[in-house]
Amino acid sequence: MRIICICLLCLLSYFSLSAQNFGGNPSSVKWKQVNTDKARVIFPTGLDSQAKRMAGIMKLLGDTTSQTIGGQQRKWNIILQNQLTIPNAYVRLAPLMSELYMTPSQDNFSTGSLRWDDNLIIHENRHMQQFSNFNKGFTKVFSFLLGEEGQLLANGMTVPDYFFEGDAVWQETLVSAQGRGRMPSFYNGFKSLWLANKNYSWMKLRNGSYKDFTPDHYALGYQLIAYGNEKYGADFWSKITNDAVRFKGVFYPFNRAIERYSGKTYRQFSNDAMQYFKAKTLPAKSLAVTAFNYLTKEEKNNVIDYRFAGYISDDSIVVTKNSYKEVPAFYIISNGKETKLRVRDIGIDDYYSYRNGKIVYAAYQSDPRWANRDYSVIKLLDIYNGEQKQITYQSKYFSPDINAAGTEILAVQVNTNGSNNLVRIVASTGNLIQKIPNPDNYFFTQSKYINADAAVSAVRNPDGKMALVKIDLTNGTTESLTPFTYNVLGYPAVKGDTIYLTAMNGNADKIFAVTLQSKKIFSVTNNNNGVYSPAVNNKGELMVSAFTAGGYMLAKVDLAKADWQEFNTFSSAKVDNDLFAGSEMHMKGAGALYALDENNNTWAVTKFRKSFRLFNFHSWRPVVDDPEYGYNFFSDNILSSFRNNISYTYNRSDRSHTIGFNTAFAGWFPIINAGAEESFNRTVDTAFGKSVSYNAATLKAGVSIPFRFVGGRTNKFLSVGAGYNLEQYYYNGLSKNVFKNKAINYMNAFLSFSNIGQQARQHVNPRWAQSLSVNYRDALNFRNSHKFVAHASFYFPGIGRNHSLVINTAYQNRDTLPDLFSKVFSYSRGYEALSTRRMYKLGVNYQLPVVYPDWGFANLLYFQRIRANAFYDYTNAKARVNNVLTEVINSSTGAEIYFDTKIWNAFPVSIGVRFSHLLNTDLLNPAVKNRWEIILPIGLIPD
């Protein structure tokens, strides 16, 4: 029974992870709300119009598309965050809420041209509908036993992740004139596999790979969802998910439901769906394609991306390169030889600009304290001397370009109210020269100088359409070079009188050209899969990054030999729907976004009180640790600044009861926590054969400050804090005549620090990292008991690119009496750990990947990687042995094998086996010379 509970709690801990940051916003933020029957949209000042529009879309979709997933839509709390630069959003249970990050993506080909707030709410609304309809049947038993975490666990066990995301992309495509289902870039991954004749197993497509490219679960899920709707009708997935969450068919209920309602095996259904989209997205073989000359090659057991090439000369380029084996870096490629310039600073995307020896790009920087506030700053790199400098601070600048003279930078500025401007910046100082007016309320993305007074930019208008526009940098007036359409475009490159760009057309993203004088549009390439970021040299050679199964490869073609065709078919109508299931356009909710009438939106904007649902108990977990049994009840307020839990525990051995309460507030600069616990009728046996009965009360309080310094090439984290505990014992029965009631006061102080370099996908550890943790505890009025423990680890590169050398050290110093405190010292592996007055340890580890099996069975267990670790530990301890103070040396050596797996195609779990050979005598187990152990990763089993 205990093993089953542990397994369930392991899965629960996986599903409880979310993007919400505890104490992410300072208390100085003033929140407003739009409160309707479908949603409470909570937002900071400046987002009033977006919040009202989102509330309108929530109501609109609740009245239309919710019918296709079960018909229910609970009222959701939605928080709009406008201080973050990372474009993202999520919906969660425990507690029931959603958080939307309002800074749009600059990558038009990842999310499309729809206005960002529409894109977010349409997608996340579908997740809200899913959770609203997935608490049925046996799932309700989970909800009864575990609260909202129970539903989360049951849904994760019965409904695959690809359905959640594929279904949400389906809603994007259904209700708007675009959505990812209409974008060729969305299919790049699968098309690259089909074009390369790579036929991966279903489990590999579901779980991914450390050595081969596999498309994400968004693209996989959309194909299955759209195909199901096309072939079996609008209620197909509603019936399937209804049966699945009811656990109809205990094993694989989702698969069984597909078989029940499609009449096909699950394998046949998934194969048919992918074949359907293969036929939709790949052109007829008879069509002529551009004959690209590929400059880079695929590498076995690796995926390499070469992106955003810029010509230094006709035969030399600068490019950003990253792979499964290497972190992103800038390289110069000349005559086929690659020379590394510098590891790129941490960024949101890989985009950069190059001109006349200077690379300019946007890099990410965190706020030191508040996780819901960060920055995008400008970095300038000289390719000739390798010097890089940061020229802006605490800014929100994106997609920069540098002028020919190297004196000025043009960048996109995103403001907290959702507006957007181009800005001109002094390249040497970062000072603002001009914020260029934006009277048409365009959203600017990648922009390039044409000359000192003009630039070109790929823009989105408020209707969600895109065009290439020319901007007069002196006054902000714009001139459209292409018509505004739902066809996504971007990555402009200026060469003489011609602008080259990537734009979606038919089944792929292709290269087009626009002449500034005539405004004629020409198609330049005809390719089966996406090609991006064009660059042209003085010899008339076009360089692109081509999406392949081995990564983005550099390819070029002679423009004189390209098939230039004047192109006049950009349409302002909806995007050609050949890429997706046509019946979607006739389903309930099709085009619903355009039925939204904002003029009739009369919802009031009111103040949001931070005290709203301050105590919001949403989940409860059992305690199963014989002889103790009980329950913990969890509460989080909507803004994630106030957290509480109540606990009850029954001890069957002494029949005692314990109740507890813990609370934490994170709205101030320090996080404040406090707690209380009361135990009744505790009983312990003494050495004299008598029992001692007592009650105990504990009060505790603490303070901590978490710091984040993410930026440059490393992630730094620092946390400091201190706490105070008071434990009072009250003896009862005969015991009160023997023992005096006593109180123990003790404090603890801690510091933890880590400095972590960037890590590529195949790296078993960061190649460069350091960590330090220090903890001091002192029982202020009890036998002078104290303990100081410190740990430090140092990570270095190994011999191979994916190998890791790790040095561990530890030190402990405490009083000489029996240890009052818990053991936290990292002892030599294989030994029963001692806890003596003074100990220190040195450990050496060498870890490397052994094989990438990419193999699994029965959709139960999938092996992604097997890695090995050889170790040596040395611990020196001063201990009293036979009343003699002795120096005890405990050394061990051995090996560990780790299996990085996925369980049920969903849950990443790493399990290890350790063999330790003891080089000295274990004082607590003298007969043991060798020991085998099973290793579960830290954090797998929740507290």
State which H helix or E strand residue 242 sits in. Answer: helix 236-245
Segment 298-301 long-range contacts (CB within 8 Å, at least 24 positions apart): 298/548, 298/549, 298/550, 298/551, 298/553, 299/323, 299/550, 301/211, 301/212, 301/852
Which tens digit of pLDDT belongs to each residue from 28-53?
Answer: 999 999 999 999 999 999 999 999 99
pLDDT at 368: 97
Instruction: Return the number of other C-beta atoms located less than 10 Å from residue 599's C-beta.
Output: 6
pLDDT at site 582: 64
Confidence tier at 942 by pLDDT (50, 70, 90): very low
Write down the pLDDT at residue 19: 52
Instruction: Quickly count helices (H) and strands (E) in the chain.
Output: 13, 48
In the predicted model, is pLDDT for residue 581 greater than 80?
Answer: no
Report the DSSP pairing between strands 861-881 and 884-903.
Answer: antiparallel
Choice between 120 and 735, residue whose per-residue pLDDT is larger: 120
Given a cut of 70, is residue 15 above it in pLDDT? no
Q: What is the mean pLDDT of residues 360-372?
A: 98
**Which CATH number describes the domain made up of 2-286+579-607?**
1.10.390
pLDDT at residue 923 greater than cutoff 50:
yes
Give the residue, 570 or 666, on which the prediction is more confident.
666
**What local confidence, expressed as pLDDT, does residue 297 receive?**
93
Provide the terminal-to-terminal Cα distance of the chain, rounded to the nearest Å: 18
pLDDT band at 121 (very low <50, low <70, confident <90, very high): very high
Model confidence at 687, in pLDDT bands (50, 70, 90)? low
Section 665-688 average pLDDT: 88
In terms of pLDDT, which residue wins out, 943 or 64?
64
pLDDT band at residue 539 using 50, 70 and 90 as cut-offs: very high
pLDDT at 692 over 90: no
pLDDT at 740 exceeding the cut of 60: yes
User: Does residue 17 register a pLDDT over 50?
Assistant: no
Asked if 402 contacts 358 with a C-beta cutoff of 8 angstroms, the reply is yes
Lowest mean pLDDT among 165-174, 250-259, 727-736: 727-736
Residue 513 has pLDDT above 60, yes or no: yes
Higher pLDDT, 936 or 151: 151
pLDDT tens for residues 525-534?
999 999 999 9
Q: Is 4 exposed, middle or buried (0-12, 13-18, 19+ CB in 10 A)?
A: exposed
Distance CA 41, CA 16 (A): 23
Token pair belonging to 209: 């790979």
Q: How far apart are CA 105 and CA 86, in angstroms?
A: 8
Instruction: Identify the band that residue 569 occupies on the pLDDT scale cut at 50, 70 and 90.
Output: low
Lowest mean pLDDT segment, chosen from 535-549, 560-574, 758-772: 560-574
Q: How far, in Å, are 533, 582, 592, 846 from residue 868 at the CA level? A: 40, 50, 54, 8
In terms of pTM, does the model score above 0.85? yes
Chain mean pLDDT for the chain: 92
Reply yes or no on whether the pLDDT at 733 is more than 80: no
Burial of residue 109, with CB atoms counted within 10 A of its CB: 0-12 exposed, 13-18 middle, 19 or more buried? buried
**Could you report the per-residue pLDDT of 706-719, keeping only the tens digit for each?**
999 999 999 999 99
Mean pLDDT for the stretch of residues 384-411: 97
CB 891 within 8 A of CB 921: no
d(CA 360, CA 774): 40
The full set of domain ranges for the chain reads: 2-286+579-607, 345-486, 763-943
Mean of pLDDT values over 862-889: 93
938: pLDDT strictly greater than 70: no
Asked if residue 166 has pLDDT above 50, the reply is yes
Specify the pLDDT at position 284: 72
Q: Name the superfamily (CATH) of residues 345-486.
A: TolB, C-terminal domain (2.120.10.30)
What's the rounded mean pLDDT across residues 463-484?
A: 95
| Residue 289 confidence (pLDDT) | 86
- For range 896-908, the mean pLDDT: 94
CB 376 within 8 A of CB 395: yes
Tell whether the model's pLDDT for residue 590 goes beyond 90: no
Which long-range contacts does 822-827 make (Cβ < 8 Å, 24+ apart)?
A: 824/775, 824/789, 825/789, 826/791, 827/873, 827/875, 827/890
Segment of 14-18, 584-588, 750-754 carrying the highest mean pLDDT: 750-754
Model confidence band, residue 735 (pLDDT cutoffs 50, 70, 90): low
- Going by pLDDT thresholds of 50, 70 and 90, the confidence category of residue 236 is very high
Q: Taking residues 683-700, what's their average pLDDT?
A: 78
Q: Which of 220-224, 265-269, 780-784 has the lowest mean pLDDT?
A: 780-784
Helix, strand, or coil (residue 79): strand
Average pLDDT over residues 853-872: 97
Q: What are phi and psi of 109, to 5 degrees?
A: -85, -5
pLDDT at 6: 44
The amino acid at residue 900 is: D
pLDDT at 341 over 70: yes
Percent of residues, the chain, with pLDDT higher than 90 = 83
